[in-house]
A = this chain, B = another copy of it.
Amino acid sequence: MKIYFSMRLTVAVAVGIMLGTIAYAQQKPCATASKFGADDQIGNLNYITAEKTLAASKLVTTGKAYRLAIETNKDVPAFPPRTFSIVVLQPGQVAGGTLGATKTTYNDDIITGWVGVGTGIDGLGHVGIDNLYFNCNKAADFVAANGLKKLGVENIPAVATRAVLLDMAGYLNTDIVKEGTAFNRAEIEGAMKRQGIKSIEKGDVVLFYTGWLKLIGKDNKRYEDGNPGLGIEGAKYLASLGVAIAGADNENLEVVPFEKGAGVFEVHQILLAQNGIYIIENLNLAEMVKDKAWESFFTLGTPRVTGGVQAIVNPIAIR
Q: Does A107 contact B (CB under 8 A)?
A: yes
Query: B301, A313: Cβ atoms under 8 Å?
Result: yes
Q: Is the pair A269, B102 in contact by a Cβ cutoff of 8 Å?
A: yes
Residue A242, interface by CB 8 Å: no
Could you tell me the distance in whole angstroms from the C-beta of A189 to the nearest C-beta in chain B?
Answer: 26
Asked if A86 is at the interface (CB within 8 A of a chain B CB), the reply is: yes
**Distance of A236 from chain B, by nearest CB (Å):** 13
Q: Report if A89 contacts B (CB, 8 A).
A: yes
For A305, list chain B residues within 8 Å (CB). 71-73, 84, 86, 109, 111, 118, 312
The CA-CA distance from A308 to B86 in the complex, in Å, is 7
Q: Determine whether the beta carbon of B114 is less than 8 Å from that of A131.
A: no
A217 on interface, CB distance cutoff 8 Å: no
The smallest beta-carbon distance between A214 and chain B, in angstroms, is 18
User: Using Cβ atoms and an 8 Å threshold, which residues of chain B touch A51?
Assistant: 63
Identical chains bound together, number: 4
Query: Which of B53, B70, B131 is in CB contact (< 8 Å) with A95?
Result: B131
In the bound complex, residues from chain B placing their C-beta under 8 Å from that of A29 are none
A315 at the interface (CB under 8 A from B): yes
Would you give the 0/1 interface string for A87-112, flagging 1 where the beta carbon is closer than 8 Å to chain B?
A: 11111101111111111111111111
Q: Which of A5-13, A121-129, A180-188, A194-202 interfaces with chain B?
A: A121-129
A146 to B73: give the CA distance in the assembly, Å.
10
Given A115-B109, A146-B85, check contact A314 B318 (CB 8 Å). no
Point out residues on A near B: beta carbons under 8 Å: 48-55, 57, 60-74, 81-92, 94-116, 118-119, 125-131, 138-140, 143-148, 154, 157-160, 262-266, 268-269, 297, 299-318
